Structure 1
Amino acid sequence: MKRILITLLLPCCTFAALAQSTAKKTTTVKKTTTTKKPVTTVKPAVSPAAFKNTMDSASYAFGNSMAGSLKNSGLTTLNYDLLIKGIKDAFAGKPALIKEDAAQAAIGNIFREQSKLKYSATINEGKTFLENNKKQPGVQVTASGLQYLVLTPGNGIKPKATDTVLAHYKGTLLNGKQFDSSYDRNEPLSLPLNRVISGWTEGMQLMNAGSKYRFFIPYQLAYGERGAGADIPPYSTLIFEVELLKVNGK
């Protein structure tokens, strides 16, 4: 074992001696280490738009204000090239590329599409509910999509769309939240059937005076894409319990 270790150490000793001998003959040069400072890249500041006069600042303000209003209405983007062309054509007095009625329809459609995307959860909730509800015992469905359930039959006269009726009612959202009730006010409501939501106009003509129905009204037959106040969101499917008390005071 000692022999093997000595054999292994010989090259090391020889190399050490050689290095020491060489070091004596060589002039040692002392190195000075220079620490490099990190280079900081300074990005040029983004210069604001150059408003040379009132026209420049007003033009930008008009564009920014218009875009802000459109964005608050639900739009997220537009075809900016055609937007600018429309503005230029109007100021230049050129005829519009589309007729006024088509223009109004296009504007209405794009807002409607954006609104449906925003309230897609509410729309889908109503659609799913009505699909399941129409399978429930006693529920009947009209051609328009109105669903109703007879809670208490009556034997009085049926109203026409031009009649005025006296009714008690309670209205709720699908989650059970009540948004209106004549029962709570202890005061039935007198109303002309041609001035209420179409779900009521259609549904109450099915009723005899003295009857009580429950209506399941799709948003298209209720308050539609606008909703009603803070209590009825857009695209809400509604549930009403309605008791028809009188028709034209009879």
Structure 2
Amino acid sequence: MSQDTGSKPVVGVPDAAAPAALFVADVVEGAGDEAKAGDSVEVQYAGFNWSNGKEFDASWNRGAQPFAVEPLGSAPVIQGWNDGLVGAQVGDRRLIVIPPHLGYGAAGAGGVIGPNETLVFVVDVVSINGKS
């Protein structure tokens, strides 16, 4: 995976069983204060299905406009994002693998995420509480 946080990431999903628990790893480590519950975190992201490696969504495809996750911990996003961004720092490129129970579960989403799909996100942290 590219470490260039200035460009859209490309992800290869391993030919292995998906993890049953949330997996978080920083591919690029940022600096500064860590994001905590209640913070506003702006990110760039790309999301992929574990089952086939296909991209289903990316902020990079919409003019690379950052997406706000706020308030962290109870933001109106899937729980895997609320949990997976805690502790992130500005400049992080964070890999977040989200099991179905922290994603869209048995319902899937929008015809592009199947039922019980594990999700793979690469998330670049642009700012926390307006500080980049």
Q: Shared topology, TM-score over 0.5?
A: yes
1:242 CA displacement: 0.3
Is there any run of 5+ residues in structure 2 with no aligned partner, and where?
1-15
Structure 2 counterparts to residues 1-250 of structure 1, below 5 A: 128-130=17-19, 145-174=21-50, 175-185=52-62, 186-192=64-70, 193=72, 194-195=74-75, 196-250=77-131
Identity over the aligned pairs, expressed in percent?
37
Higher relative contact order structure (alpha carbons within 8 Å, sequence separation ≥ 6): 2
3-state SS of paired residue (2:30): coil
Contact 2:36 2:87 in 1 (8 A): no
Provide TM-score, normalisation by structure 2: 0.77
1:43-84, Cα deviation, whole Å (9 max, x unpaired): xxxxxxxxxxxxxxxxxxxxxxxxxxxxxxxxxxxxxxxxxx
**Aligned partners of 1:197, 1:156: CA distance in 2, in Å?**
25
Q: Which structure has greater strand proportion?
A: 2
Aligned residues: 111
Provide TM-score, normalisation by structure 1: 0.42
Q: Which amino acid aligns with 2:28?
A: T
**Aligned partners of 1:234, 1:161: CA distance in 2, in Å?**
29
Query: Rg larger in 1 or in 2?
Result: 1
**Aligned partners of 2:87, 2:104: CA distance in 1, in Å?**
21
3-state SS of paired residue (2:105): coil
1:218 CA displacement: 0.4
**Aligned partners of 1:205, 1:191: CA distance in 2, in Å?**
11
Contact 2:27 2:93 in 1 (8 A): yes
3-state SS of paired residue (1:130): coil
Q: Which residue in the other structure is 1:80 paired with?
A: none
